[in-house]
Amino acid sequence: MSDSATRTTEKTTSETKVVSNFIRHIIDKDISNNKNDGKVVTRFPPEPNGYLHIGHAKSICLNFGLAQDYQGVCNLRFDDTNPEKEELEYIDSIKKDVSWLGFEWKGEPRFASDYFAQLYQYAIDLIKAGKAYVCSLSPDEAREYRGSLTEAGKDSPYRDQSVAENLDLFARMKQGEFDEGEKVLRAKIDMASPNLNMRDPILYRIRKVEHHQTGNEWCIYPMYDYTHCLSDAIEGITHSLCTLEFEDHRPLYDWVLEQLQTPNHPQQIEFARLNLNYTITSKRKLKQLVDDNHVLGWDDPRMPTISGLRRRGYTSASIRDFSDRIGVTKVDGVVDMSTLEFCIREDLEHSAPRAMCVINPLKVTIESWAEDEVQELSAPRHPKDESMGRRTLKMTRVIYIDRSDFEEVPPPKYKRLTVDKEVRLRNSYVIKCEQVIKDEQGEVIELRCSHDADTLGKKPEGRKVKGVIHWVSEQQSMPAEVRLYDRLFTVENPDAAAKKHEDDDSHFLDFLNPDSFKVMANARAEISLAGTQPGDAFQFEREGYFTADPDTSSDKLVFNRTVSLRDSWAKAGNK
């Protein structure tokens, strides 16, 4: 990786707009006062206990974007202090996501575990200064002693142990003499503090599990609040950006650094996290969806994970645009899913070539067409971008149209195909339905039609044909599987809807959308899509934007619907 944080963009520099916010105001003031020698050093510190989601994308864009815009650097640092829940799979996925979004970190990826020896020595320094002690209260006793929001806590009976005794016990904790939960190292602050985070918080606990980076070297692991501030200080971070839930933790962040008088004292700044409606952004709950097989994995295209969005067909440019549009504030709120969908529509409108795919095929025989005749027709790959060139369509006697484009008894103002009426085939001829063929159950299985040979590229004489529908040839088309996705939940805020069950927060599962995933296994795609590779994106005319799934092969195309052409969810009254 390069020695500075960089961001690649899919738009020209002239199109990139920098929108100011309160964090930029702080940085601008710091630079004008030559604080930190005018340097800007940020970090993105994910815990490798799951795949990153859209909320992390906002943080990635913010931290790396600020470093880029102020000619600074940004570190990627894994907060790996909880080895029970962390995996190398998650580390690899996080690195992939950051790179895919268009960012590079300074040097090699860093790990909080890189600093375990320094953190241990800092803990010893706190003990020697009388600012930390080893506590032997059981977890239940510790909760009782902690107090509540309305009641002050009580001092632990172990709080006044001598420095020598605390040093001895802490060393024995490190050597593995005690069982998990038997002893912890706590900061000595104020058990009567109105901020519960300052009531002698735990700094170290015993965990006898193998660590993915350090193996079995350690059996005590530092807590996040202790590790976070010191890792920032060790790396020379200038602006440590966190979401609002860490605002009450800032006094502890500053207390640790002040007690240890570290050479660097980063500034913690909190901003509102991203909350997106009709989904969840709790890694624990996302993991539950995966583990309980409610979805098909972390990269299920219904998931708000970056890998899920990527597989669905979202581009890195669209997610960066989304992050810029929603902005950075100090007030929590909920962003409408339609904003994210708008960003990908805007991107793909300009970049995705056009094609035709019949998702739910209905056979049409054009009886006026010779049986063995194959006519090549030409159509633009993009109506507004000639540089994309043209594509070849094959017109034959038997074609497919979508079942939704035919009604035997049409509603008022119907503009598609019906009996004894005409409709134009996209980039082709005008056809007229002459006969409807049904099976024994009365279901329409075929249409018999005629065509007007004098309507290729021009209007029919003496009459007006209003409707235009898409089609593909039966023989000159590709088999395809089309996967349709919708909102993962049926309610805007599944967490809030589940709060009535105070004893069990798993009730968010009650609001999973049973129609969020539908497979159309018998779709047919135009012949020009032969050779499509995973990740290729198209606008299927009249249907929406679709991206080839990794399951695509030379034998069968598999497409994920990235987004519809319009916000059909809002139109249906679901918002």
Residues tagged active-site: 47, 273, 283
The answer to whether the CB of 304 falls within 8 A of the CB of 298 is no
φ/ψ of 177, rounded to 5, equals: -75, -20
Helices (runs of H) and strands (runs of E) counted in the chain: 14, 27
> What is the SS3 assignment for 325?
helix
Angle at 512 between CA 497 and CA 571, to 5 degrees: 85
Torsion of CA 46, 49, 50, 52, to 10 degrees: 0
The answer to whether the CB of 527 falls within 8 A of the CB of 392 is yes
Residues forming a β-bridge with 376: 394
Tokens 């962040």 belong to 253
Please classify residue 423 by burial: count the beta carbons closer than 10 Å to its beta carbon, then call 0-12 exposed, 13-18 middle and 19+ buried.
buried
The secondary structure element, H or E, covering residue 16 is none
Please classify residue 483 by burial: count the beta carbons closer than 10 Å to its beta carbon, then call 0-12 exposed, 13-18 middle and 19+ buried.
buried
The closest alpha carbon to 538, from 286, 394, 382, 355, belongs to 355
| CA–CA separation, 30 and 35 (whole Å) | 5
Tokens 């506590």 belong to 135
Count of CB atoms within 10 A of residue 202's CB? 15
Q: Where are the alpha helices (DSSP H) in 184-315?
A: 224-235, 250-260, 283-291, 306-312
The closest alpha carbon to 250, from 191, 192, 329, 195, belongs to 195
On the CB side of 18, how many CA atoms lie within 13 Å of its CA? 13
* 567 Rama class: left (phi>0) / alpha (psi -120 to 50) / beta: beta
Torsion of CA 171, 172, 175, 176, to 10 degrees: -140
Count of CB atoms within 10 A of residue 429's CB? 21
| CA–CA separation, 229 and 81 (whole Å) | 13
The closest alpha carbon to 133, from 178, 189, 64, 92, belongs to 189
φ/ψ of 9, rounded to 5, equals: -125, 155
φ/ψ of 377, rounded to 5, equals: -120, 150
Amino acid identity at 18: V
| CA–CA separation, 22 and 330 (whole Å) | 8
